[in-house]
Amino acid sequence: MNCIIIDDEATARTIIEQLCSNIPDINVLEAFPNAIQAIKYLNQYEVDLIFLDIHMPDFTGFDFIQTLKNPPKIILTTSDAKFAIEAFEYDCIVDYLVKPIALPRFEKAIQKAASLKAVPDLTPVSETVESTNNNDLYVNIDRRLVKINMPDIYVIEAKGDYINIKTETTNHVVHSTLKKIEDKLPKTTFLKVHRSYIINTTKIVDIEDNSVLIKQDIIPVSRANRSELMKRLNLL
Amino acid sequence: MEQPNLSYIDELSGGDEAFKKKLIAIIKKEFPEEKEQYFKNFGAQNFKATAENVHKLKHKISILGLEKSYKIAENFEAGLKENSTVGHEAFHETLQTISDYLTTL
């Protein structure tokens, strides 16, 4: 199931992403700090499941649901049990998780979502990755070849059968593998630092023992890749 | 007074030290911001906004295993919605306890 997370609290988004990482059938495509950004995303992409915080400033989870014409399955996440009755007035809401969420309860919610009527097959968000000249990378998104300026990419993250290419201005979810895109990227600037991450080494803000900070993303660095990363740096 | 702990975070991380470090870093960044916003609204007697801030802070309180403080926060939040500040001293104490604890991580 392809899912997105909507929660104004970074801590909560990170926790749900971690809980999802324990479940092989769940693929987190994106996490949003507010409903508006999620609506823009959903205008472009289909998802199977949304983890939705009810209690957000300006635009609550319930407001958000009412904007959706064909809402996917939704699992509500909240610190208040008191919204439960209202929640189940919506057919799309399959479960209601009270924070802090423990893994066994989370797994149960996922099983519940998975056991409900299957969502129709998704049109692949994107299927191919091709590069032409030194700086351009083309990805096939909804049968359009979209150009990405490679120096703008700061990290690429593997997410199940997809990769998420993060650039200075936007993210592109592509049905591809890290291996495939790694072959298209200039080896002088891009480095695979973890089985799930390729980074643009020119975008590094700082490095700790087993992680690098790129923009606001903390990327894990595996022990095997750390020495290669250190070789690439202009160390004083 | 009960003390914060990392039991939930440890359980969640399942031994994944990189994740644990990442989550703690996020909490250490987010908590002071939320606390500052809370005191700003509380000082301005904007109790509706203060209740929103308490609501958000409650999650951090529960993540850090402060069960009694969570109940205090819950009651305080409900009171703020009725323009009552009863329980604010205990809540402020909780915030200070968490701030102190986060400096040790």
Angle, vertex CA B71, rays to CA A10 and CA A62, nearest 5: 50
DSSP-derived letter for residue B62 is H
- Residue A203 structural domain: 126-232
- Tell me the shortest Cα–Cα distance from A55 to chain B, in angstroms: 8
Measured CA to CA, the distance from residue A202 to residue A232 in angstroms comes to: 10
Cβ-defined contact of B59 to A57 (cutoff 8 Å): no
Residue A57 has pLDDT above 90, yes or no: no
For residue B53, what is the nearest residue in chain A, using CA coordinates? Answer: A57
Residue ending a domain, choose from A60, A83, A115:
A115
Measured CA to CA, the distance from residue B27 to residue A9 in angstroms comes to: 10
| CB atoms near residue A112 (< 10 Å) | 13
User: Does one domain contain both A89 and A153?
Assistant: no
Tell me whether residue A120 is in a domain: no
DSSP codes joined into one string, B75-102: HHHHHHTTT--TTHHHHHHHHHHHHHHH
Cβ-defined contact of A79 to B55 (cutoff 8 Å): yes
Choices 2.60.40, 1.20.120, 2.40.128, 2.20.25: CATH for B7-103: 1.20.120
User: Does one domain contain both A70 and A91?
Assistant: yes
pLDDT digits (tens, 9 = 90+) for A22-33: 999 899 999 999
User: Does one domain contain both A84 and A158?
Assistant: no
- Tell me the shortest Cα–Cα distance from A209 to chain B, in angstroms: 10
User: Does one domain contain both A73 and A36?
Assistant: yes
Residue ending a domain, choose from A56, A91, A115:
A115
Angle, vertex CA A170, rays to CA A164 and CA A172, nearest 5: 30
Encoding tokens for residue B102? 């986060």
pLDDT at residue number A61: 84
- Is any Cβ of chain A less than 8 angstroms from the Cβ of B20? no
Cβ-defined contact of B59 to A79 (cutoff 8 Å): yes
pLDDT digits (tens, 9 = 90+) for A129-139: 555 556 888 88
Task: Answer for the pair A157, A163: CB distance below 8 angstroms, yes or no.
Answer: yes
User: Does one domain contain both A63 and A156?
Assistant: no
pLDDT at residue number A134: 67
For residue A16, what is the nearest residue in chain B, using CA coordinates? Answer: B12
pLDDT at residue number B83: 94
Residue A122 has pLDDT above 50, yes or no: no
- Per the structure, how many domains does chain A have? 2
Residue A83 has pLDDT above 90, yes or no: no
pLDDT at residue number A124: 38
Buried b vs exposed e over A116-125: b needs ≥16 C-beta within 10 Å?
eeebeeeebb
Residue B29 has pLDDT above 90, yes or no: yes
Residue ending a domain, choose from A115, A146, A177:
A115
Query: Which residues in chain A have Cβ-Cβ distances shorter than 8 Å to B52?
Result: 55, 57
pLDDT digits (tens, 9 = 90+) for A143-178: 567 888 899 999 999 877 778 899 988 888 887 888
Domain CATH number, residue A91: 3.40.50.2300
ipTM summary value = 0.94
Q: Amino acid identity of A191? A: L
Phi-psi region of B101 (alpha: psi -120 to 50; beta: other; left: phi over 0): alpha
pTM surpassing 0.80? no
- Is any Cβ of chain A less than 8 angstroms from the Cβ of B92? no
Q: Residue A11: which of B14, B17, B30 has the nearest Cβ?
A: B30
* Closest-CA residue to A232 (of B28, A212, A218, A217): A212
Cβ-defined contact of A18 to B59 (cutoff 8 Å): no
User: Does one domain contain both A137 and A43?
Assistant: no
User: Does one domain contain both A110 and A134?
Assistant: no
Cβ-defined contact of A22 to B14 (cutoff 8 Å): yes
User: Does one domain contain both A109 and A144?
Assistant: no
- Tell me the shortest Cα–Cα distance from B64 to chain A, in angstroms: 10
User: Does one domain contain both A24 and A109?
Assistant: yes
User: Does one domain contain both A13 and A111?
Assistant: yes
* Closest-CA residue to B9 (of B61, B59, B52, B64): B64
Tell me whether residue A121 is in a domain: no
Tell me whether residue A69 is in a domain: yes
Cβ-defined contact of B30 to A8 (cutoff 8 Å): no
Residue A123 has pLDDT above 70, yes or no: no
Q: What is the 3-state secondary structure (H, E, C) of A1-22?
A: CEEEEECCCHHHHHHHHHHHHC
Tell me whether residue A203 is in a domain: yes
Mutate to test the interface with B, among A5, A60, A79 (most CBs of B within 10 A): A79
CA B101 to the chain's CA centroid? 12
* Closest-CA residue to A29 (of A47, A14, A11): A47
User: Does one domain contain both A111 and A147?
Assistant: no
